[in-house]
Amino acid sequence: MYRTDRRCVVLPRLVVLAVLSAGCLPALRAQSRFATLAAEIDRRAAAALPRVVAWRRDIHQHPELSFAEVRTAKLVADQLTALGLEVRTGVARTGVVGVLRGARSGPVVALRAGMDGLPVTELVDLPFKSTVRTQYNGQEVGVMHACGHDNHVAILLGTAEVLAGMRERLPGTVKFIFQPAEESVSGAQLMITEGVLEDPAPQAIFGLHVWPAPLGTISYRAGPFMAASDGLNIVVRGRQTHGALPWGGVDPIVVASQIVLALQTIPSRQLDVTRAPAIVTVGMIRGGTRGNIIPDSVILEGTVRTFDEGMRADVKQRIRRTVEQIAQSAGATAVVDFGTANAPVAINDSALTEQVLPTLRRVAGPDKVLLAGLSMPSEDFAYYQQRVPGVFFFLGVAPDGQDPRTVAPNHSPYFFADEGALPVGVRALASLAVDYLTSAVPGR
């Protein structure tokens, strides 16, 4: 009886195990395939690292402003051509696009990097420090990769090298977008206008930005991530008079001062910032020629940041109303202009973000993939995300042993990106591309 019972119990277990094994085989094979590809990416990224570092230092030492990235574009095009990619130059004036077609058919994924530097004189003491100077808005200025785009270009070139070496195992196409003029918030729009998201059209797009966060970390956020940005230009016109006879004119400096203070009540008193934050900043005031002359006009320039298109329109209306009514009450006039170099909210596709999180955790380590808060700086990567599901994330470059809260931020003349993050960036972009293509093609 005992032996019979035992056989009756064991047989169903064997049957269940056989059924489960048969059902799990595709998943096990997929896991094995992913592991093999991940190991190859890591190996190729390590081999490419010396060149990635060299590219980064070369580009850092020779920064170029928006739409002037001629040398950088040539370096990029030469490297992509050497890798055997289809290369298109002159996109959006100085942009470069490389297309890597895998040996097997499949979807298209795009990877993007900005190329331009900033009109900032570098104060970091490096062997490859920038000494470039140029004319900008009628002034001679230094030029520096103070936002880390040298890292972005080098990382994407390294990614291209890694993936070109895996061409025979790629079930699909990777499009590499080297974009000009991110800093002037105009490069992405022009590239899109000139067909960067066509022929072939990507089904997903990924990008990164170096950030003063712990070294090698990846910070992400699903949904709204980086703020919409609008310019702010206000011209207040009064009536010029002697500084000792203010009643003889209309003082635009006093009016402008009232406007600056009143604008701060918009985010602090008029908006529900528990729903979404907003910022109105006046960063420049220009007016007058002498201390004893009340000038005819004053110019205010600033920036507006919001996270919701409805709030964005509402804030603009409130700014316009506030400015015009204050000016009118003083007998002055004022004109408000929000400019054209603006960016929408950068919104990470929620489903795609959830899909790629395992990839990011595998690359950086589970404890180094961090949930980010809302970020007030803007990114014209948002224009791609309006047309294609995309994920944008931050790559931590604060040196080990330093508090990220105290290191110089992006756009500072002291901004410094630790090269220890470069291999993480290469592995992240390469892995995102491979995992997306592989998971999007069942059975591959």
Which residues are known to be catalytic?
A: 116, 182
Identity (one letter) of the amino acid at 195?
G
Whole-number Å distance between alpha carbons of 28 and 252: 73
E-assigned strand segments in 93-170: 95-101, 104-114, 133-136, 139-142
State which H helix or E strand residue 305 sits in. Answer: strand 297-306
Cβ atoms of residues 277 and 284 within 8 Å: no
- Return the DSSP state at 367: G
Q: Name the packing angle between helices 252-263 and 309-329 (round to 10°).
A: 150
Whole-number Å distance between alpha carbons of 63 and 59: 6
**Those residues with Cβ within 8 angstroms of residue 389's Cβ, 6 or more apart along the chain or in another chain:** 203, 204, 205, 349, 351, 352
Cβ atoms of residues 263 and 304 within 8 Å: no
**Euclidean distance between the first and final Cα of the chain, in Å?**
50
Task: Note every long-range contact of 133-141, with CB atoms under 8 Å and residues 24 or more positions apart, other chains counting.
Answer: 134/65, 134/68, 136/65
Cβ atoms of residues 173 and 100 within 8 Å: yes
From the number of C-beta atoms within 10 Å of its C-beta (0-12, 13-18, 19+), residue 373 rates as: exposed
